[in-house]
Amino acid sequence: MAAENESIRSIKRGLEVLQVINRAGLTRLQDISNATGLPYPTVCRIVDTFKDAGMIERDSSSRNYRPTALVRTLSVGFQEDEFLVTKARKIIEELCSDVGWPITIATRVGNHMMIRDSTHKLTTLTFHNYAPGYTLPLLECSVGKAYLAFCPEIERKNVVSSLDMQEGEVNQMAQVLLSDDDLLDSIRKDGFATHAYNKFTSDPGRTSSLGVPIFDGELLAGALGLVFFSSTMSVEEAAEKYVAKMQATSARISEAIAQEDG
Protein backbone atom coordinates (compact mmCIF):
# COMPACT_ATOMS: atom_id res chain seq x y z
CA MET A 1 0.00 0.00 0.00
CA ALA A 2 2.85 2.39 0.84
CA ALA A 3 4.42 1.85 -2.59
CA GLU A 4 1.06 2.44 -4.27
CA ASN A 5 0.49 5.70 -2.38
CA GLU A 6 3.97 6.87 -3.32
CA SER A 7 3.25 6.15 -7.01
CA ILE A 8 0.03 8.15 -6.86
CA ARG A 9 1.86 11.02 -5.14
CA SER A 10 4.48 10.99 -7.90
CA ILE A 11 1.79 11.32 -10.57
CA LYS A 12 0.22 14.24 -8.74
CA ARG A 13 3.58 15.99 -8.42
CA GLY A 14 4.31 15.43 -12.09
CA LEU A 15 0.98 16.94 -13.12
CA GLU A 16 1.60 19.97 -10.88
CA VAL A 17 4.96 20.58 -12.54
CA LEU A 18 3.52 20.20 -16.04
CA GLN A 19 0.70 22.63 -15.23
CA VAL A 20 3.19 25.26 -14.00
CA ILE A 21 5.31 24.96 -17.15
CA ASN A 22 2.26 25.04 -19.40
CA ARG A 23 0.89 28.17 -17.73
CA ALA A 24 4.20 30.04 -17.74
CA GLY A 25 5.17 29.16 -21.30
CA LEU A 26 8.85 29.55 -20.42
CA THR A 27 10.15 29.11 -16.88
CA ARG A 28 13.14 28.20 -14.71
CA LEU A 29 13.56 25.13 -12.54
CA GLN A 30 13.71 27.30 -9.42
CA ASP A 31 10.46 29.05 -10.38
CA ILE A 32 8.80 25.67 -10.84
CA SER A 33 10.03 24.62 -7.40
CA ASN A 34 8.70 27.84 -5.85
CA ALA A 35 5.32 27.54 -7.57
CA THR A 36 4.75 23.90 -6.62
CA GLY A 37 6.48 23.85 -3.24
CA LEU A 38 8.43 20.78 -4.34
CA PRO A 39 12.14 20.37 -3.54
CA TYR A 40 14.48 21.48 -6.32
CA PRO A 41 15.99 17.97 -6.85
CA THR A 42 12.48 16.52 -7.18
CA VAL A 43 11.57 19.13 -9.78
CA CYS A 44 14.74 18.32 -11.72
CA ARG A 45 13.83 14.62 -11.87
CA ILE A 46 10.25 15.33 -12.95
CA VAL A 47 11.34 17.83 -15.61
CA ASP A 48 13.89 15.34 -16.98
CA THR A 49 11.12 12.72 -17.21
CA PHE A 50 8.80 15.02 -19.16
CA LYS A 51 11.69 16.13 -21.36
CA ASP A 52 12.49 12.51 -22.22
CA ALA A 53 8.78 11.98 -23.01
CA GLY A 54 8.80 14.96 -25.38
CA MET A 55 6.27 16.97 -23.39
CA ILE A 56 8.68 19.80 -22.59
CA GLU A 57 11.96 21.11 -23.97
CA ARG A 58 14.79 23.36 -22.81
CA ASP A 59 15.28 26.69 -24.54
CA SER A 60 18.84 26.79 -25.87
CA SER A 61 19.35 30.51 -25.28
CA SER A 62 17.91 30.91 -21.79
CA ARG A 63 18.13 27.31 -20.51
CA ASN A 64 14.53 27.70 -19.31
CA TYR A 65 11.87 25.09 -19.98
CA ARG A 66 8.74 25.31 -22.10
CA PRO A 67 5.95 22.94 -23.20
CA THR A 68 6.03 21.33 -26.63
CA ALA A 69 3.10 20.82 -28.98
CA LEU A 70 2.81 17.29 -27.62
CA VAL A 71 1.14 18.72 -24.50
CA ARG A 72 -1.92 19.45 -26.63
CA THR A 73 -2.54 15.72 -26.97
CA LEU A 74 -3.59 15.71 -23.31
CA SER A 75 -6.63 17.84 -24.14
CA VAL A 76 -7.81 16.00 -27.24
CA GLY A 77 -11.51 15.28 -26.86
CA PHE A 78 -12.05 17.96 -24.21
CA GLN A 79 -14.41 20.32 -26.00
CA GLU A 80 -17.35 20.76 -23.66
CA ASP A 81 -16.62 24.45 -23.02
CA GLU A 82 -15.56 25.36 -26.55
CA PHE A 83 -19.11 26.36 -27.49
CA LEU A 84 -19.35 28.74 -24.52
CA VAL A 85 -16.02 30.37 -25.39
CA THR A 86 -16.96 30.76 -29.05
CA LYS A 87 -20.24 32.50 -28.24
CA ALA A 88 -18.77 34.69 -25.50
CA ARG A 89 -15.57 35.92 -27.13
CA LYS A 90 -16.75 39.03 -28.98
CA ILE A 91 -19.08 39.93 -26.14
CA ILE A 92 -16.37 39.88 -23.46
CA GLU A 93 -14.07 41.85 -25.76
CA GLU A 94 -16.72 44.58 -25.89
CA LEU A 95 -17.04 44.62 -22.09
CA CYS A 96 -13.26 44.80 -21.71
CA SER A 97 -13.13 47.73 -24.13
CA ASP A 98 -15.88 49.47 -22.16
CA VAL A 99 -14.54 49.05 -18.61
CA GLY A 100 -10.82 48.72 -19.31
CA TRP A 101 -10.28 45.81 -16.92
CA PRO A 102 -9.62 42.21 -18.06
CA ILE A 103 -12.60 39.88 -18.34
CA THR A 104 -12.53 36.10 -17.91
CA ILE A 105 -14.76 33.14 -18.67
CA ALA A 106 -14.31 30.27 -16.21
CA THR A 107 -15.80 26.85 -15.53
CA ARG A 108 -15.44 24.38 -12.69
CA VAL A 109 -12.89 21.58 -12.88
CA GLY A 110 -12.96 19.55 -9.69
CA ASN A 111 -12.34 21.90 -6.75
CA HIS A 112 -10.95 24.65 -8.97
CA MET A 113 -12.17 27.18 -11.48
CA MET A 114 -10.34 27.06 -14.79
CA ILE A 115 -10.04 30.06 -17.09
CA ARG A 116 -11.42 29.13 -20.50
CA ASP A 117 -10.92 32.53 -22.12
CA SER A 118 -9.75 35.97 -21.07
CA THR A 119 -9.08 39.46 -22.43
CA HIS A 120 -5.87 40.09 -20.45
CA LYS A 121 -3.93 40.58 -23.69
CA LEU A 122 -6.35 43.32 -24.77
CA THR A 123 -5.66 45.69 -21.87
CA THR A 124 -2.70 47.21 -20.07
CA LEU A 125 -4.63 47.11 -16.78
CA THR A 126 -3.23 43.75 -15.73
CA PHE A 127 -0.14 42.39 -13.99
CA HIS A 128 -0.15 39.06 -15.78
CA ASN A 129 -1.69 37.36 -18.80
CA TYR A 130 -3.85 34.58 -17.39
CA ALA A 131 -4.19 32.29 -20.38
CA PRO A 132 -6.77 29.51 -20.77
CA GLY A 133 -5.94 26.62 -18.48
CA TYR A 134 -5.01 28.72 -15.44
CA THR A 135 -6.80 27.47 -12.32
CA LEU A 136 -7.77 28.96 -8.97
CA PRO A 137 -9.14 27.26 -5.83
CA LEU A 138 -12.92 27.26 -6.06
CA LEU A 139 -13.62 29.47 -3.05
CA GLU A 140 -10.56 31.68 -3.42
CA CYS A 141 -11.95 33.54 -6.41
CA SER A 142 -15.15 35.42 -7.21
CA VAL A 143 -16.03 33.25 -10.21
CA GLY A 144 -15.79 30.15 -8.01
CA LYS A 145 -18.09 31.60 -5.37
CA ALA A 146 -20.59 32.68 -8.03
CA TYR A 147 -20.48 29.25 -9.63
CA LEU A 148 -20.98 27.39 -6.37
CA ALA A 149 -23.87 29.63 -5.34
CA PHE A 150 -25.83 29.02 -8.54
CA CYS A 151 -24.93 25.43 -9.42
CA PRO A 152 -27.46 22.61 -8.80
CA GLU A 153 -27.69 21.45 -5.20
CA ILE A 154 -26.45 17.95 -5.98
CA GLU A 155 -23.33 19.37 -7.66
CA ARG A 156 -22.73 21.69 -4.70
CA LYS A 157 -23.05 18.80 -2.24
CA ASN A 158 -20.54 16.77 -4.26
CA VAL A 159 -18.05 19.64 -4.18
CA VAL A 160 -18.45 20.15 -0.45
CA SER A 161 -18.07 16.42 0.11
CA SER A 162 -14.83 16.31 -1.86
CA LEU A 163 -13.47 19.31 0.06
CA ASP A 164 -14.21 17.54 3.33
CA MET A 165 -11.90 14.72 2.29
CA GLN A 166 -8.94 17.00 1.53
CA GLU A 167 -6.44 18.72 3.76
CA GLY A 168 -4.69 22.06 3.53
CA GLU A 169 -5.33 25.70 4.32
CA VAL A 170 -7.49 26.35 1.25
CA ASN A 171 -9.80 23.41 1.87
CA GLN A 172 -10.09 24.22 5.58
CA MET A 173 -11.15 27.76 4.66
CA ALA A 174 -13.65 26.38 2.17
CA GLN A 175 -15.20 24.18 4.82
CA VAL A 176 -15.56 27.18 7.15
CA LEU A 177 -17.20 29.26 4.44
CA LEU A 178 -19.60 26.45 3.60
CA SER A 179 -20.48 25.60 7.21
CA ASP A 180 -23.76 27.45 6.66
CA ASP A 181 -25.59 28.91 3.66
CA ASP A 182 -25.22 32.59 4.58
CA LEU A 183 -22.43 33.28 2.07
CA LEU A 184 -24.07 31.48 -0.84
CA ASP A 185 -27.53 32.83 0.02
CA SER A 186 -26.11 36.35 -0.07
CA ILE A 187 -24.50 35.75 -3.46
CA ARG A 188 -27.74 34.33 -4.87
CA LYS A 189 -29.68 37.32 -3.53
CA ASP A 190 -27.23 39.89 -4.92
CA GLY A 191 -26.59 38.01 -8.17
CA PHE A 192 -22.81 38.35 -7.96
CA ALA A 193 -19.77 37.41 -5.86
CA THR A 194 -16.68 39.35 -4.80
CA HIS A 195 -13.19 38.40 -3.69
CA ALA A 196 -10.75 40.92 -2.27
CA TYR A 197 -6.98 40.67 -2.51
CA ASN A 198 -6.78 37.50 -4.57
CA LYS A 199 -4.17 35.28 -2.96
CA PHE A 200 -3.71 32.48 -5.46
CA THR A 201 -2.48 34.49 -8.45
CA SER A 202 0.89 35.37 -9.95
CA ASP A 203 0.74 38.63 -7.98
CA PRO A 204 -0.81 37.68 -4.61
CA GLY A 205 -2.96 40.37 -3.03
CA ARG A 206 -2.58 42.91 -5.81
CA THR A 207 -5.88 42.19 -7.54
CA SER A 208 -9.50 41.75 -6.49
CA SER A 209 -12.40 40.47 -8.55
CA LEU A 210 -16.12 40.26 -9.26
CA GLY A 211 -17.98 37.23 -10.59
CA VAL A 212 -21.44 36.60 -12.04
CA PRO A 213 -22.98 33.34 -13.29
CA ILE A 214 -23.56 32.50 -16.95
CA PHE A 215 -26.56 30.34 -17.83
CA ASP A 216 -27.41 28.15 -20.79
CA GLY A 217 -31.17 28.21 -20.42
CA GLU A 218 -31.77 26.96 -16.87
CA LEU A 219 -28.39 25.24 -16.69
CA LEU A 220 -25.31 26.90 -15.23
CA ALA A 221 -22.68 27.13 -17.97
CA GLY A 222 -19.87 28.93 -16.15
CA ALA A 223 -19.01 32.29 -14.65
CA LEU A 224 -17.92 35.70 -15.90
CA GLY A 225 -15.15 37.49 -14.00
CA LEU A 226 -13.76 41.01 -13.88
CA VAL A 227 -10.34 41.57 -12.30
CA PHE A 228 -9.08 44.94 -11.05
CA PHE A 229 -6.17 46.34 -9.07
CA SER A 230 -6.87 46.14 -5.34
CA SER A 231 -5.24 49.53 -4.84
CA THR A 232 -7.68 51.34 -7.10
CA MET A 233 -10.96 50.64 -5.30
CA SER A 234 -12.73 48.37 -2.84
CA VAL A 235 -14.82 45.42 -3.99
CA GLU A 236 -17.92 47.36 -2.92
CA GLU A 237 -16.98 50.30 -5.13
CA ALA A 238 -16.15 47.98 -8.02
CA ALA A 239 -19.46 46.17 -7.63
CA GLU A 240 -21.37 49.45 -7.79
CA LYS A 241 -19.54 50.46 -10.97
CA TYR A 242 -19.37 47.19 -12.89
CA VAL A 243 -21.82 44.51 -11.73
CA ALA A 244 -24.73 45.80 -13.81
CA LYS A 245 -22.57 45.77 -16.94
CA MET A 246 -21.30 42.28 -16.12
CA GLN A 247 -24.82 40.97 -15.63
CA ALA A 248 -25.90 42.51 -18.91
CA THR A 249 -22.92 40.86 -20.60
CA SER A 250 -23.77 37.51 -19.04
CA ALA A 251 -27.34 37.86 -20.32
CA ARG A 252 -26.05 38.59 -23.83
CA ILE A 253 -23.90 35.46 -23.73
CA SER A 254 -26.90 33.42 -22.63
CA GLU A 255 -28.94 34.88 -25.47
CA ALA A 256 -26.20 34.02 -27.97
CA ILE A 257 -26.16 30.44 -26.74
CA ALA A 258 -29.95 30.21 -26.91
CA GLN A 259 -30.06 31.53 -30.48
CA GLU A 260 -27.60 28.87 -31.58
CA ASP A 261 -29.54 26.17 -29.75
CA GLY A 262 -32.72 27.33 -31.41
Q: What is the mean pLDDT of residues 232-248?
A: 98
pLDDT above 60 (res 6) = no
Least confident piece of the model among 134-138, 160-164, 202-206: 160-164
Could you give the CA distance from residue 118 to residue 131 in angstroms, rounded to a whole number? 7
pTM: 0.69
State residue 4's pLDDT score.
47
Could you give the CA distance from residue 199 to residue 140 in angstroms, rounded to a whole number? 7
Q: Which of 128, 116, 68, 109 is nearest to 92 (CA)?
A: 116
Q: What is the mean pLDDT of residues 146-153?
A: 91
Burial 154-187 (b: 16+ CB within 10 A, else e): eebeebeeebeeeeeebbeebeebbeeeebbeeb
With 0-12 / 13-18 / 19 or more C-beta atoms within 10 angstroms meaning exposed / middle / buried, residue 249 is: buried
Distances (CA, A) of 204 to 54, 114, 180: 32, 18, 28
More confident residue, 61 or 171: 61
pLDDT above 90 (res 245) = yes
pLDDT in tens, 19-71: 888 777 788 899 899 888 899 999 999 999 998 888 888 877 777 888 887 77
SS3 track for 76-123? CCCCCCHHHHHHHHHHHHHHHHHHCCCEEEEEEECCEEEEEEECHHHC
pLDDT above 50 (res 182) = yes
The pLDDT confidence band at residue 99, using thresholds 50, 70 and 90, is very high
Instruction: Count the neighbouring beta carbons within 10 Å of the beta carbon of residue 43.
Output: 24
Least confident piece of the model among 127-141, 199-213, 217-231, 241-255: 127-141
